[in-house]
Amino acid sequence: MFSSDRLLYVLSAKQEMSWTAFKSAFSSLYTSIASVSDLEKQDINNKRQKVVRSLQSLGHCEFDFTDNRVYVAPPVLVRLPCAGFPQAILAGARSPQTLEQITGICNSLGNHIKVEIEPDKALSLIPRRITVQVEDVEELRKIADSLKIHFKENPAAWEILNFSGSLQDYLATRKWSNDPELNWEKHQTFNTNSLLFQTSQYPDSIIRLRQYIHPTRNTQTHYFRRMGQNVKIEHTEIDRDWGRYAVLSALHLNILVYDKRKFVMVVPSGAKLPCLLERALTLCSGYVPEYRDKIDSLAKSLPKAKGFKLFHAIPPQIAEMTAAKLSQTLIIQSLDIEKQR
């Protein structure tokens, strides 16, 4: 029987591999489970991109696209910032024996300890969510010690969020120039209404994020332009995820939504979060964000946004701090959604 853990098993056995080897392993596993019709419907590159982002957000892997290497994180019990009994999820490397080992250790400590394993999902290469619930935090430490893996009492979501820099920190590290931008023919500009890269109707806008396509290598480069302190237009090469929020901040546009009753934070799909901030939100629940094509209650506040990611079990302080890191003010709103998990 196919297990959605198989990709992580392969990565764990290798510990690290080249990006080329990862793509080969992914293609082999995905084509073995997808029907012909699924392969026709799903662009395998898009599917791989979603899985890569999920593996990063869940803390299983690190992807270094500068050196084109993939690294598996050491196994760790990650405490969730939830109310009630302490809970932790397993992140990082795992093997086919991992589940049996965890179950055996937890059973030996008492039947009050609960181990929950999410079932495999169709056509998924995202590892199953393995959760341990105990009555006392020290029991999580004992379980981790028995497994010879790491555990920290402080929830990882808080530590990652505190470690991550802010948008202003990031912009302060960039090298700014008053020289002309690239003259590459293929380019698109980030539309702050649709949150998509499109052919710009206003090519001379002072504040903009532009995506250039290299004329021969077909690679993407992003430049953010703004009015500098010397009242001259300046620009810098920028990471795409940070770049989106740089433009939104410069134009004083808020797009992050939070429902205080449901503890749900909504991020438009066209404004993906920088990696560490997305990981912090994901490790509040241990679930990858849920995707919705539309949310009726956001029709007025975000009328042209196409698709949304829902992060569940987000404490108010984490939602507020995440928004602040991006120079955003949360849109506080009740959402007409039902949890689908």
Do 316 and 260 contact (CB within 8 A), yes or no? yes
β-pairing, 130-133 vs 150-151, is unpaired
Residue 80 has pLDDT above 60, yes or no: yes
Q: Tell me the β-bridge partners of 88.
A: 79, 132
Residue 63 has pLDDT above 80, yes or no: yes
- State residue 1's pLDDT score: 47
Lowest-confidence region among 9-13, 283-287, 299-303: 299-303
Length of the chain in terms of residues written:
341
- Supply 162's token pair: 């505190």
- State residue 341's pLDDT score: 56
- State residue 200's pLDDT score: 74
State how far the Cα of 25 lies from the Cα of 108, in Å rounded to an integer: 37
pLDDT (average), residues 293-305? 91
Comparing C-alpha atoms, which of 220, 251, 224, 245 is closest to residue 236?
224
pLDDT (average), residues 75-90? 96
pLDDT digits (tens, 9 = 90+) for 127-147: 999 999 999 999 999 999 999
Do 192 and 247 contact (CB within 8 A), yes or no? yes
Which residue type occupies 245? Answer: Y
In this prediction the pTM is 0.93
Residue 124 has pLDDT above 90, yes or no: no
HSE-CB for 59 with a 13 A CA cutoff: 27
Do 337 and 262 contact (CB within 8 A), yes or no? yes
pLDDT digits (tens, 9 = 90+) for 143-195: 999 999 999 899 999 999 999 999 999 999 999 999 988 989 899 999 999 99
Summary count for the chain: helices (H), strands (E): 11, 18
Do 155 and 89 contact (CB within 8 A), yes or no? no
- State residue 2's pLDDT score: 58
- State residue 35's pLDDT score: 65
Write out the DSSP string of 311-325. E-S--HHHHHHHHHH
Which residue type occupies 240? Answer: R
pLDDT (average), residues 199-209? 82
- State residue 322's pLDDT score: 99
Residue 122 has pLDDT above 60, yes or no: no
- State residue 42's pLDDT score: 63
Query: Among residues of the chain, what percentage have pLDDT more than 70?
Result: 94
Which residue type occupies 180? Answer: P
Do 331 and 257 contact (CB within 8 A), yes or no? yes
Do 309 and 294 contact (CB within 8 A), yes or no? no
pLDDT digits (tens, 9 = 90+) for 238-288: 999 999 999 999 999 999 999 999 999 999 999 999 999 999 999 999 999
Residue 319 has pLDDT above 80, yes or no: yes
State how far the Cα of 51 lies from the Cα of 27, in Å rounded to an integer: 12
- State residue 339's pLDDT score: 65
* Dihedral angle over CA of 182, 185, 191, 195, nearest 10: -100
- What's the Cα-to-Cα distance from 283 to each of 69, 97, 318, 339, rounded to whole Å? 24, 24, 11, 18
